[in-house]
């Protein structure tokens, strides 16, 4: 219950940040993963993380290609910690979460 409430709060927090349509449907579980892990940095510009849904922050990163983005998420990249601290995330979760952050579907290789 507590978890679900947190997820709802997170969803509201980032929905408030970005008026554009979400690009991937997250399951309630993935919403919790997003809120509890990724958004701690990706909703805070001061961390240096590209901001969720902010196209300017993501365009150069998306140009690297889906495979590189997925690998950098799993292995870490500069200030981005390995797996974004999400030890409960699997590969499908990462694809969905990156799509949510970047505003673009991340294809399967």
Instruction: Give 5 or 76: the residue with its C-beta nearer to ligand HEC.
Output: 76
Nearest distance, CB of residue 1 and ligand HEC, angstroms = 23
Among 7, 11, 35, 49, binds ligand HEC (CB under 6 A): 49
Q: Is 61 in the site for ligand HEC (CB under 6 A)?
A: yes
Among 22, 40, 57, 74, binds ligand HEC (CB under 6 A): 40
Residues 6 or more apart from 73 whose CB is under 8 A from it?
80, 83, 84, 94, 98
83-102 residues near ligand HEC, rule: CB under 6 A: 84-86, 89, 94, 97-98, 101
Side-chain half-sphere of 26: how many Cα atoms within 13 Å? 27
Among 7, 32, 37, 95, binds ligand HEC (CB under 6 A): 37
User: 3-class DSSP state for residue 77?
Assistant: strand
């Amino acid at each position: 219950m507590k978890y679900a409430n947190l997820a709802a709060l997170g969803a509201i927090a980032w929905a408030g940040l970005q008026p554009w349509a979400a690009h991937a449907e997250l399951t309630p579980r993935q919403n919790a993963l997003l809120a509890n892990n990724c958004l701690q940095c990706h909703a805070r510009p001061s961390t240096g993380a590209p901001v969720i849904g902010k196209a300017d922050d993501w365009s150069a990163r998306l140009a690297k290609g889906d495979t590189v983005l997925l690998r950098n998420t799993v292995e870490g990249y500069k200030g981005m910690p390995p797996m974004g601290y999400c030890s409960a995330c699997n590969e499908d979760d990462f694809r969905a979460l990156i799509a949510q952050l970047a505003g673009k579907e991340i294809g399967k290789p």
